[in-house]
Amino acid sequence: MTDTSQTPLAGTDADADDLEHVTRQTSVYVYEVPVRLWHWINALAIVVLCITGYFIGSPPPTMIIAEATYQFVFGYIRFAHFAAGWILAIGFLGRMYWAIFGNHHARQLFYLPLLRRDWWHEVWFEIRWYLFLEKQPKKYVGHNPLAQLAMFCFITLGVSFMIITGFALYGEGLGHGSWADNMFGWVFTLVGGNSHVVHTYHHLGMWWILIFMIIHIYVAIREDIMSRQSIVSTMISGHRTFKDDNPD
Amino acid sequence: MSQIETFYDVMRSQGITRRSFMKYCSLTASALGLGPALVPTIAHAMETKPRTPVIWLNGLECTCCSESFIRGAHPLAKDVVLSMISLDYQHVLMAAAGHAAEAALDEAMEKYKGQYILAVEGNPPLNEDGMFCISAGKPFVEKLRHVAKDAKAIISWGACASYGCVQAAKPNPTQATPVHKVITDKPIIKIPGCPPIAEVMTGVITYMLTFDRLPELDRQGRPAMFYGQRIHDKCYRRPHFDAGQFIEAWDDDNARKGYCLYKMGCKGPTTYNACSTIGWNEGTSFPIQSGHGCIGCSEDGFWDQGTFYDRVTDLTQFGVEKNADQVGLAAAGVVGAGVAVHAAVSALKQAQKKTQSTPTNTNEEV
C-alpha cells in the first residue's frame, strides 16, 4: 500500500491538493484476520456476559408465564451466560495461540516491556497527550504504550480473572469431583473457602471490564479523530493508515 | 481392644431389635451413598468390630451441636449416637461433675489410647493465653492439646470447631481459632453447620468403623458425601429459580406460593450441606422449606459475608456499607463523567487546532 504512482482518483471531486496528499498516504497491515475476528467475537461475548451476569446477581422481576415446570426464564439467562463464557474462554485461548504464531503486533496484549526506560517514557508522553499537555501525539503502528498498559491490565488480566473465577463458579453447579471443580476449585481455597466471596469478586470483575469498555470505546473514537493514525477502521480492515508522513 | 464391646452389643443391650439395627444399617448405607450391596458389610462391621470410642470436648460454643445431636432424625439414630460416645465424658450428657468427671476423662484416654475419636464442639480462644475459655480450671486450648495427643482422628463438630463461627467473626476479640489451626498433626474431619446434622456424624463414624479409613473429603476437609453438593442443587424450590420466579418481598404473594428465596439473600447457591436432602427434626423441614433463606451456616466465615438478606454482598472494606453493584456503578459513573469532560475538552482543542492550523498548512503547502 505504499505505492506512490500517480493513479488518478476515481471521481472528479479530487483537486490537486487531494491528489498530492493521497500519494503520501501510507498504511500498514497490523491486525490479522484471527485478531480482528477475536476482537469482535470477544466484544459480543462480553456484552452478553455483562447483561446476563448482572441479571444473575440481580434477577429481573418475577415473571409468571406458566407453571415453573414449563417456564425457564432464569435458566435461559444463565445458559446464555455460560455459553458466552465458553466462547470468551475458548476465544481467549485462541488469541493466546495467535500471540505465538501471529505477527509481532499480536503479542502486544500479552507482555509489557516494563524494563525498557524509553517505553515508560512514552507511557508518560501519552499521559501528557491525554492531559492536553502535548500538542501532537506520536505515530504508532500497534498500540501506543499507554494503550498497551491498559489492554494488559483490563483485558489480559481482567479477562483471565473472569475466566478463572467464572469456571470455579461453574464448577459449583457441576459438583464435587467435576473437571471444573478439580481444575479451578483452588480459587475457593485461595479466598478462604466461602464461595460467596468469589461471586462478589466475579461481580466486581464485571464492573472492571465495563469501565474498560467505556474508556476503550471513547478513546478509540477520540484517537480516530485526533491522533495521526486510523483506529476504529483498523479493527475492521486490519490496516493502520497514517494521516501524515512527517518523520517523527 | 478385645474388652471393648461392639456397637451391636451396645444396641442390643439398650433394647434395640435386630430389625431396627438392620434398618439403621440400610439407612446409613444410603446416606453415605453406598447402595444396598454394602448394607451387610456395615452390619458385619458393627457386629464384629469393637465400637469406636468417642471422647467429646466442649470449648467456646453454644451447645447447639449437642442439642442437634440428641435430636437425631431417625428414632434409632440418637440411641446409636449415644452408644457411640464414651458417656464417661460429655459435658452436656454426663452424670459426673468436677474432679470425678475429669478423672473419668483421664481414664477413658488411658483405656482407649490411640483408638478414640476426639469430637470437638466449639473452639479454643488463643488470646490472653487462652483465658477466655476455662475448662476444669485450665485454658481449653491446653485440654484440647492434651486430649488430641492420643486421638486416632479428630472430628471438628460444628461451625465453631471447623471455622470459628460467631466468636471468630470480625474483629474476633478472643482470637477464637478453629481446631485444625491448633492441632496440625492429626487427621481432622470437619462437619460444619450451626448446628450440623446429627445423621452426618453417625454416618461418618459408621463409615470409619466399616472401612477403617476416613471417608472421601472435599477440598476443605468435609465428608464429600454430605458436603459435595449445595443446598441449591437439591432444593425443592429449584424449579422456581430456573423459571425466574422469586419472592420479591417478605410475605408477598410469591412467598405464599413458595417461590425461590434467591432475591431475599438465600445462600443456598453457595452453601454445601445436606439440609435439603436429610432435613431437620426427624426430617420435618429445613430453613428454606419453612420460608426463610439459607444463611450459609456451614460455610467458612458466614458471619462476615454481609447481611443474610442480600444477594450481592456488602463490601465493608471502606468502612461504608456498599454492595458490589454500588461500588461498580459509582466507579463507572466517575469514569463516564471523566470521559464526558475529556471528550468536551478534546472537541474544543480539536476545533481550536483546526482554526489555527488551517492557514499554516496552506502556507506550508503553497
Contact between chains at A188 and B342 (C-beta distance less than 8 A): no
The answer to whether the CB atoms of A132 and B296 lie below 8 A apart is: no
Instruction: Say if the Cβ atoms of A200 and B312 lie within 8 Å.
Output: yes
Low-confidence residues in chain B, pLDDT < 70: 1-3, 72-88, 316-320, 356-366
Whether B252 has its CB under 8 Å from any CB of chain A: the answer is no
Whether the CB-CB separation of A196 and B315 falls below 8 Å is answered with: no
According to the model, what pLDDT value does residue B364 have? Answer: 43
Letter string b/e over residues B295-318, b meaning 16 or more CB atoms within 10 A of that residue's CB: bbbbbbbbbbbbebeebbbbbeee
Nearest to B246 among A59, A203, A206 (CB): A59
pLDDT at residue B167, as a whole number: 93
Band of the pLDDT at A234, cuts 50, 70, 90? very high
Give the burial class of A84: count Cβ atoms within 10 A of its Cβ; 0-12 exposed, 13-18 middle, 19 or more buried.
buried
Integer CA distances (angstroms), B194 to A178, B159, B162, B199, B328, in order: 27, 6, 10, 14, 33
Q: Does B143 touch chain A (CB under 8 A)?
A: no
CA of A210: which chain B residue's CA is closest?
B332
Average pLDDT for A166-191 = 93
In B156-232, where does DSSP find H-type helix?
Answer: 159-162, 198-211, 224-227
Residues 6+ apart with CB under 8 A from B246: A59, A62, B240, B254, B259, B260, B261, B262, B263, B264
Q: Which domains are present in chain B?
A: 7-227 (3.40.50.700)
Instruction: Return the DSSP state at B71.
Output: T
- Residue A193 — very low, low, confident or very high, per pLDDT cuts 50/70/90? confident
CB of B249 closer than 8 Å to CB of B256: no
Interface residue B333 vs chain A (CB under 8 A): no
* pLDDT given for residue A22 in this prediction: 65
Q: How confident is the model at residue A136 (pLDDT cuts 50, 70, 90)?
A: confident
Q: What is the pLDDT of residues A99-113, one digit of tens each?
A: 999 998 999 999 899
Give the pLDDT band (50/70/90) at residue A218: very high
Residues of chain B contacting A200 with CB distance shorter than 8 Å? 312-313, 315, 324
The per-residue pLDDT for B88 is 64
The residue among A168 and A245 whose pLDDT is bigger is A168
CB A89 within 8 A of CB A163: yes
Per-residue pLDDT tens digits for B199-223: 887 788 888 888 888 899 998 999 9
Q: Any chain A CB within 8 A of the CB of B332?
A: yes
Helix or strand (DSSP H, E) at B121: strand B117-121
Chain A residue at shortest CA distance from B221:
A193
Instruction: Using an 8 Å CB-CB cutoff, list chain A residues near B342.
Output: 130, 218, 222
pLDDT at B93: 75
At B166, which amino acid appears? V
| Average pLDDT, integer, range A32-51 | 96
Name the percent of chain A lying above pLDDT 70: 90
Q: Which residue on chain B is closest to A135 by alpha carbon?
A: B353
Asked whether the predicted pLDDT for residue A6 surpasses 60, the reply is no
Residues 255-294 in B contacting A (C-alpha not used; CB under 8 Å): 259, 262-263, 267, 269-270
- When scoring A195, A198, A219 by the number of chain B Cβ atoms within 10 A, the one with the most, hence best to mutate, is A195
Identify the pLDDT of residue B362. 44
Residue A135 binned pLDDT confidence (cut-offs 50, 70, 90): confident
Q: Does B300 touch chain A (CB under 8 A)?
A: yes
Q: Among A100, B61, B13, B293, which Cα is nearest to B69's?
A: B61
Tell me the residue length of chain B: 366
